[in-house]
Amino acid sequence: MTVATRLRSLARGRVAVIGVPYLWLLAFFLLPFLIVMKISVSEMETVRFKDLLTFKDGMLQLSLRLGNYVFITEDALYFKTYLSSIKYAGVTTLLCLFIGYPFAYFMARAKATVQPALLMLVMLPFWTSFLLRVYAWKGLLSEHGWAFEFITATRLDHVLAAIGVIPAPGQLMNTPFSLVLG
């Protein structure tokens, strides 16, 4: 087997290895995304959406309807929702930075024997399902959860209400506090 033949077979193997994830992304991300984009610019009919490309009178016609996008920019509800999403994303990012960097510094300075255990403490929550974590937070922050009982027993809820983190003492669920905490 010559060097050129080996290189060609190696290149084919690389294409196969790299091609599988790209096919997966194409099938399960790009195609559904394009379908949703087609629906968003199509005009709705009684049974289905109108075709974007039609061949009429010997000409190919493209019919895009951008009214949905104009509606989103003109409606105040969508704008407020977008701004609140940006606000919560910013607050969550800052909290992650303020908590994550000191913990990473502590992990880097810890003894080599302790570092794997600290890394496991960071990685373990990512191994659980997102839905399971949501239900766990709901259980912890509900009126009968131990986190709620701890916060109310230490009167920390009054402090959080005084600085505006929660709307009223004793109310933790369905608040901006619980959204950022989760």
Boundaries of domain holding 146: 129-177
What percent of the chain stands above pLDDT 70? 95
| Residue 167, domain member (yes or no) | yes
Report the predicted TM-score, pTM, of the whole model to 2 decimal places.
0.63
Among 21-35, 108-122, 160-174, the least confident range: 160-174
Whether 139 is covered by a domain: the verdict is yes
Residue 23 is assigned to a structural domain of this protein: yes
Compute the average pLDDT of residues 22-47: 85
**Rounded distance between C-alpha atoms, residue 61 and residue 24, angstroms:** 32
Query: Mind listing the pLDDT tens digit for each residue in 151-174?
Result: 888 988 888 888 888 888 888 888
Residue 102: CB partners within 8 Å, gap ≥ 6?
Answer: none
- Number of structural domains in the chain: 2
Instruction: Check residue 146 and give its pLDDT.
Output: 87
- Over range 90-104, report the average pLDDT: 94
- Does residue 104 belong to any structural domain of this protein? no
In this prediction, residues 55-59 reach a mean pLDDT of 81
- The torsion defined by the Cα of 75, 79, 85 and 88, in degrees rounded to 10, comes to -130
> Residue 99 falls within a domain, yes or no?
no
